[in-house]
Amino acid sequence: MYEITGDVSDLQAPVLLVTFDGWASAGDAGTATAEHIASLGAEDVAVFDPDALFDFRVNRPTATFDGGRLTDISWPLVVVRRRRMGRRDLFVLSGPEPNWHWQAFGRSVADLALRLGVVESVSLGGIPWATPHTVPPTVITTASRGDLIGSDADYPEGTLHVPSSVTFVVERALTDAGIPTAGFWVRVPHYVAGTYYPAVVTLAERLSRHLDLDIPLAPLVDEAAAQRRQLDALVAERPEARAMVERLERLAEDGEVSGEDLAAEIERFLREESDGLG
């Protein structure tokens, strides 16, 4: 399913970062974190065949015309980009969530990861949650082995059934191929639409600690501060929104939302996908 298009030589302890557009990247948390890392000088090194992955009636290609003449068609693509950071290489796998052949795609990603000598994979995403924007985002952790993450891991308790995303399918295929996998899923206020920069900062910080890398955060922190001011102003103007945020703040003080509450929030999010506040 894939073609290697760039330099994949001279690799140092390569890590594969996995994230896709879709509900498992609520607030664009995973995808924006990956884009931030890739924007620091990453180069494309592999691309997956879009004909094998996408329903083009759902993920339509973009046609470009110049003076009435068709000059280009840009296809939805899942790509892998390489970025050397510190003492190791990061491979960023991202793009629109595929429509077709999830299991075959997962196996293909695992095959590529083995060819690249990937020593660990980290999934990045966001989960719509009953949490207010007035408290710092927190991260749910998953891992194929308990020793992959330190004592600050926040594993979900008990058994939880949620709608899957292709990210989870890829994570399972990588685990089956013998590659250690971890996942960081930041809680995103379910009423916020668009990129939620506080969640992006939280994910980047968590990934930085996990991989012992210095990921620059300054532009993300500035965006997060500006967004907080905007959300505060919007909530102040809407009594019903202010009441909702206050209720969520009380829930946050009382303790964590249960797994059943999480599943209900995800199902609500998938049904409604409303415009939110910002």
- Does 45 reside within a domain? yes
CA dihedral 82, 8, 182, 87 (to 10 degrees): -70
pLDDT in the model for residue 167: 95
Specify burial of residue 252 (Cβ count, 10 A radius: 0-12, 13-18, 19+): middle
Which residue range forms the structural domain that includes residue 20?
2-272
- How many angstroms separate the first and last alpha carbons of the chain? 37
Per-residue pLDDT at 268: 52
CATH label of the domain that carries residue 121: 3.40.50.10900
153 found inside a domain: yes
Does residue 140 sit within a domain? yes
- Quickly count: other Cβ atoms within 10 Å of residue 113's Cβ: 26
Residue 236 located in a structural domain: yes
pTM for this entry: 0.88
* Number of domains, the chain: 1
Residue 239 has what pLDDT? 85
pLDDT along the chain (278 residues), means of 10: 96 97 89 92 95 96 96 97 93 96 98 98 92 91 86 73 89 97 93 92 95 92 94 89 83 64 53 50
Q: Nearest to residue 127, comparing CAs of 158, 165, 170?
A: 165
Specify if 95 maps to a domain.
yes
Q: Does the residue 278 lie in any domain?
A: no
Domain assignment present for residue 88? The answer is: yes
pLDDT for 269 equals 47
Q: Is residue 277 part of a domain?
A: no
